[in-house]
Structure 1
Amino acid sequence: MVKVKICGLMRPEDIQAVNEAGADFAGFVFAPSRHFVSLETALKLQINLNPDIKKIGVFVNESIAEILAIYRAGAIDIAQLHGKSTPDEIATLQAVGLKVIQVFERKAIDPQSSADYLMVDSGKGSGQVLNWQSIPHIDRTMILAGGLNPDNISQAVQMVNPDIVDVSSGVETDGKKDPTKMMNFIKNAKEEYVL
């Protein structure tokens, strides 16, 4: 069954909604964006996060030292790398026990990547949907992101068959996380289809 990551958590209410909806991963954005949170804020928010939910930090060309500092502070279990990430950088993060998601934005996935997870995305929080038919099936743990919402997630899962789906703005109303949309997104993503 597909797993769900809810990204861009910023408020205590977001954490409560993620816990209640039963997400598998919680995303905290440490890169400049409207969803940015500081390390201090992320740690405060996580006090009430269900310990079974894995914490993912989103980075865009941040230094390896910065990512490691956030990991060592206990704020993340997994680093999601947008922008350029070399095999050496990925190996450095993995050497300390950090799992790595390499993001492929609007470009072909490299199945030879040494990252633990490969993500296809239409752009950092762009809200645009990818052409799902053009996404190749690869024998790696794949994450689908980009323009997903409660209304299109069932179709996306059926067509792409990803291991994990990632949503941020697709479960928001007026720029804030919407608990009902989060609940519906997860329900629709995990619904088993009988053909």
Structure 2
Amino acid sequence: MVKVKICGLMEPADIQAVNEAQADFAGFVFAKSRHVVSLATALALQTHLNPNIQKVGVFVNESIADILAIYQAGAIDIAQLHGKSTPEEIAELQRAGLKVIQVFERQAIDPKSTADYLMVDSGKGSGQSLNWQAVPHVDRTMILAGGLTPDNISQAIQIVQPDIVDVSSGVESDGKKDPNKIMNFIKNAKEEYVL
């Protein structure tokens, strides 16, 4: 069954919504964006997060030292790396105990990446959909992101067959997380399809 990551959590109501909908991963954005949260905010929010939900920190060209400081503070289990990340940097994070998601934007995935998860995305929170037919199938744990909504998630999963799907703006109304959209997204993502 496909797992679901809800990204860009910013307030207590967001945490309540992912707990109730039983998301698998909760994403906290530490990079400059409209969803950015401070370490203090992320830690405060997580006191209410279901402990079964893995915490993902989203970074863009962040220093390894800063990522490790956020990990050591207890804010994340997984680092999601946008931008340039070298195999050495990925290995350094993994040695410290972090799992790593390497993000490939609108480009071929590098199946030789040493990251734990490979994500194909249409761009940092752009809300644009990928051409799902063009997403290569790789024999690795793959995450699909970019332009996913409760309405198109079933079709995206049927075409791409990812292990994990990731959504942020696709489950928002008026720029805030919408508990009903989160619930519907997860329900639609996890429905078993018999082709």
User: Is 1:28 the counterpart of 2:49 in the alignment?
Assistant: no
Provide the secondary structure at the position in 2 that maps to 1:75.
coil
Query: Following TM superposition, by how much is the alpha carbon of 1:107 offset from its aligned partner in structure 2, in angstroms?
Result: 1.0
Question: 1:61-104 CA distances to partner (integer Å, 9 max, x unpaired)?
Answer: 01000000000000000000000000000000000110000000
Matching residue of 1:175 = 175
Residue 45 of structure 1 aligns with an amino acid whose one-letter code is L
Question: 1:98-151 CA distances to partner (integer Å, 9 max, x unpaired)?
Answer: 000000001110000000000000000000000000011110000000000000
Provide the secondary structure at the position in 1 that maps to 2:67.
helix
Q: Distance in 2 between matches of 1:97 and 1:69?
A: 12
Matching residue of 1:95 = 95
Matching residue of 2:111 = 111
Q: Distance in 2 between matches of 1:182 and 1:79?
A: 22
Runs of 4+ in structure 1 off by over 4 angstroms are none
Provide the secondary structure at the position in 1 that maps to 2:101.
strand
Q: Distance in 2 between matches of 1:132 and 1:106?
A: 11
- Structure 1: gaps (5+ residues): none
Alignment of 1:77-156 (within 5 A): 77-156=77-156
Paired positions, count: 195
Taking structure 1 as the reference length, the TM-score comes to 1.00
User: Is 1:63 the counterpart of 2:54 in the alignment?
Assistant: no
Q: Distance in 1 between matches of 2:95 and 2:58?
A: 19
Matching residue of 1:38 = 38
Residue 173 of structure 1 aligns with an amino acid whose one-letter code is S
Query: Following TM superposition, by how much is the alpha carbon of 1:43 offset from its aligned partner in structure 2, in angstroms?
Result: 0.1
Q: Distance in 2 between matches of 1:100 and 1:37?
A: 20
Question: 1:27-65 CA distances to partner (integer Å, 9 max, x unpaired)?
Answer: 000000000000000000000000000000000001000
When the two chains are superposed, the root-mean-square deviation of aligned CA atoms in Å is 0.3
